[in-house]
Amino acid sequence: MEMIKKGAEADLYLAEFSSLLHPGRRGKVILKLRVSKKYRIQEIDNWLRRYRTSLEAKLMIDAKRAGVPTPTILEVDPDGAKIVMSFSEGEQLKNVLDRLPVRRRRLICRKIGRYIARLHLAGIVHGDLTTSNMILERSGRLVLIDFGLGCYDTSVEARGVDLHLLRRALESVHFKIAGEAYRLVVDEYRNTFGRGAGEIIRRAEEISKRGRYVAKEERAWR
Amino acid sequence: MMICLGIEGTAHTFGVGVVNQSGKILANCWRTYVPEEGGIHPREAVQFHARCAGEVIEEAMRMAGISPSDIDLVSFSQGPGLGPVLRTAATAARALAVWLNVPIVGVNHCVAHVEIGRLTGRAEDPVTGYVSGGNTQIIAFSSGRYRIFGETLDIPLGNCLDVFARRIGLPHPGGPKVEELAKRGTRYLRLPYAVKGMDMSFSGILSEAIRLVEGGEAPEDVAYSLQETAFAAVVEVAERALAHTEKDEVMLTGGVAANRRLREMLRTMAGEHGAKFVVPPFELCQDNGAMIAWTGLLAYRSGWRQRLEETQVRQRWRTDEVEVTWR
């Protein structure tokens, strides 16, 4: 088993299907393990890891049901704070988005908007929408990963934050194409979400202006 | 060498500090308004501050061994805080600056907490947990500003502890009393754990804790559970900020920095990430004038200039609105 990511909350391992689940099957799987934290008492630690493990698995399954490609959940073990899921082989969108042919890139931006709208319509917010959390498979399929900060929330604010976070991620990592990319995301989001999309998009704008996440240019003492 | 006198007044404390440009704290004096009952009453706090302002300023100059003519700069807490209280400190600062004919600079109270911590807590570039009765923020410096990685969505953690103490009949100051009580708690009672994304919420924990005591649970157990639950949320957000920014220092400041359990939890978390953990001396964790003086110096020396009419207070001035020109 090879560790591929050490996060603040969980570690990710790449493992053989055969070693983890069923000896007869080949291929790779991802194991997500929520690690115990010594700073908090065991009662809180156990409860949190258990709760978040089942929540994340449920969010991913519901997302898939809503038409958003996510890794397939193969096993959930709340007591062990473990999720085993299919491994999406491909590139992190973060590493390829800028270099894609323009037409293809535009289609992908629209796809992102469509997927976010589908999540929101299913009552889900992802909570960490960045291009690091999107995998572009060789087949062209775009897979959303890491629902670790996700939750069920249908408020305009939560949905607005989701859009805003994506915009921020685009602006910091893909600054050359961020303007067009976000416009396409939002346009397709509006098409898919339908009634009420405008309010969410405006809220995302307003959140950006709160100064919380972005640099404002004016001096503080003006 | 330039000497700055800083005036702090955002909530309970009226503080005056004198700091020179090499970062030596020459004086740090304060008076704290203690309400007879209940929480802070802005008008009474203002009367208290106005009464003691002159005497605290004199005391600070005496302690620093300077005369008024040695002061080169006056700074004050321009926000965030309670409007009337801010205006009192600002008025004192304006009067002093005009009388001495020296420049005046208004600084951000939260940024000042971080800056005095960097000066005296021996940290260069920490992820800061600023936890007090008025604010709860996880702050880290990134591209020219102190960014808020997470903050309370409702009440500050210190306020949560104080109100809990008051409601179960503990005398002022509530925080230390709750800490004492919690040491004797043994049973964990489930309280709502509230980290939402990167933000925290404490109002649900507070109502549930009060309800448990009213329902007959041992106050020791509830105090213990309250601390463990609320602190775990703060530490978790700090941990996420640490992992995200890849910094290697964690600092705790604000009034709640006095709490040994919170320190212990943050120290453990920092240790797990190979990061250093620091807490500034307590008189510089609580609200104080020295932090305002020091931050005023930093700002002035990096080019901040204010006309008198630009010194209106800013009650909701956010940490991340301040362009940090001195780093």
Q: What tens digit of pLDDT does each residue of B84-124 get?
A: 999 999 999 999 999 999 999 999 999 999 999 999 988 99
From residue B133, give the alpha-carbon distance in Å to each of A135, B88, B121, B255, B316: 44, 20, 21, 7, 16
What's the DSSP call for residue B242?
H
Instruction: List the single residue in A8, A151, A213 with the smallest CB-CB distance to B240.
Output: A8
Cβ of A220 within 8 Å of Cβ of B266? The answer is no
Distance between CA B243 and CA A66 in Å, rounded?
32
Residue B228 structure tokens: 């463990």
Helices (H), A83-155: 93-96, 102-121
Distance between CA B149 and CA B237 in Å, rounded?
8
Mutate to test the interface with A, among B310, B323, B325 (most CBs of A within 10 A): B323
Nearest residue in A to B198, CA atom: A149
The mean pLDDT value for B227-239 works out to: 97
The mean pLDDT value for A40-59 works out to: 97
pLDDT in tens, A50-97: 999 999 999 999 999 999 999 999 999 999 999 999 999 999 999 999
**Which residues are registered as beta bridge partners of A134?**
A144
The mean pLDDT value for B155-183 works out to: 94
CA dihedral of residues B162, B167, B170, B171 (deg, nearest 10): 70
Which residues have C-beta within 8 Å of that of residue B68, sequence separation ≥ 6? B61, B99, B100
Helices (H), chain B: 42-64, 83-100, 109-120, 157-167, 174-183, 203-214, 219-245, 260-272, 289-301
3-state class (DSSP) for residue B65 = coil
**Which residues are registered as beta bridge partners of B222?**
none
Q: For the stretch A148-159, what's the b/e string if a residue is b when 16 or more beta carbons lie within 10 angstroms of its beta carbon?
A: bbbbebeeeebb
Which residues have C-beta within 8 Å of that of residue A69, sequence separation ≥ 6? A115, A141, A142, A143, A144
pLDDT tier at A210, thresholds 50, 70, 90: low
What's the DSSP call for residue B34?
-
Cis peptide bond N-terminal to B173, omega within 30: yes
* Residue A211 touches chain B, beta carbons under 8 Å: yes
Distance between CA A48 and CA A31 in Å, rounded?
18
CA B169 to chain centre: 25
Task: Share the mean pLDDT of chain A.
Answer: 90
- According to the 3-state scheme, what is the secondary structure of A15-74? EEHHHHCCCCCCCEEEEEEECCCCCCCHHHHHHHHHHHHHHHHHHHHHHHHCCCCCCCEE
**B251 membership: H or E segment, kind and range:** strand B249-253
Distance between CA B106 and CA B310 in Å, rounded?
9
Total-model pTM: 0.89
Q: Closest by alpha carbon to B286, among B79, B8, B20? A: B8
CA B57 to chain centre: 21
Distance between CA A65 and CA B9 in Å, rounded?
55
Which residues have C-beta within 8 Å of that of residue B84, sequence separation ≥ 6? B42, B43, B45, B46
Chain A: closest CA distance from residue B8 (Å) = 18
Contact present, A182 and A166 (Cβ < 8 Å)? yes
Cβ of A44 within 8 Å of Cβ of B232? The answer is yes
Instruction: List the single residue in A38, A211, A221 with the smallest CB-CB distance to B304.
Output: A221
Chain B: closest CA distance from residue A24 (Å) = 38
Contact present, B35 and B48 (Cβ < 8 Å)? no
| pLDDT for position B99 | 97
Mutate to test the interface with A, among B298, B318, B326, B327 (most CBs of A within 10 A): B318
Distance between CA A58 and CA B68 in Å, rounded?
67
Which residues on A lie below 8 Å from B265 (Cβ)?
A: 39-40
Which residues on A lie below 8 Å from B147 (Cβ)?
A: 213
Mutate to test the interface with B, among A40, A41, A45, A55 (most CBs of B within 10 A): A40
| pLDDT for position B279 | 97
3-state class (DSSP) for residue B14 = strand
Residue B282 structure tokens: 């307590």
Residue A164 structure tokens: 């805003």
What's the DSSP call for residue A11?
E
Residues in chain A: 222
A98 a catalytic residue? no
Cis peptide bond N-terminal to B156, omega within 30: no
Q: Is the pLDDT of residue A221 over 70?
A: no
Chain A: closest CA distance from residue B239 (Å) = 6
Contact present, A211 and A218 (Cβ < 8 Å)? no
**Which residues are registered as beta bridge partners of B19?**
B4, B25
Chain A: closest CA distance from residue B82 (Å) = 19
Cβ of A43 within 8 Å of Cβ of B188? The answer is yes
**B77 membership: H or E segment, kind and range:** strand B73-79
Cβ of B269 within 8 Å of Cβ of A37? The answer is yes
| pLDDT for position A222 | 25
**Which residues are registered as beta bridge partners of B28?**
B17
Instruction: List the single residue in A39, A47, A151 with the smallest CB-CB distance to B235.
Output: A39
pLDDT in tens, B208-217: 999 999 999 9
Report CA torsion sign: B195, B231, B292, B124.
negative
Measured from the Cβ of residue B58, the count of other Cβ atoms closer than 10 Å reads 13
* Catalytic site residue from A11, A98, A128, A153: A128
Chain A: closest CA distance from residue B190 (Å) = 8
- A203, HSE (Cβ side, Cα atoms, 13 Å): 14
* Residue A127 touches chain B, beta carbons under 8 Å: yes
Contact present, B34 and B12 (Cβ < 8 Å)? yes
Q: Closest by alpha carbon to B129, among B246, B228, B240? A: B240
Which residues on B lie below 8 Å from A220 (Cβ)?
A: 108, 317, 321-323
Nearest residue in A to B233, CA atom: A40
Contact present, B15 and B28 (Cβ < 8 Å)? yes
The mean pLDDT value for B227-253 works out to: 95
Residue type at A93? L
Exposed/middle/buried for residue A22 (C-beta within 10 Å: 0-12, 13-18, 19+): exposed
What ipTM, to 2 d.p.? 0.91
pLDDT tier at A219, thresholds 50, 70, 90: very low
3-state class (DSSP) for residue B129 = strand
3-state class (DSSP) for residue B243 = helix
* Residue A37 touches chain B, beta carbons under 8 Å: yes
pLDDT tier at B143, thresholds 50, 70, 90: confident
| pLDDT for position A5 | 87
Task: Share the mean pLDDT of chain B.
Answer: 96
Q: Is the pLDDT of residue A24 over 80?
A: no
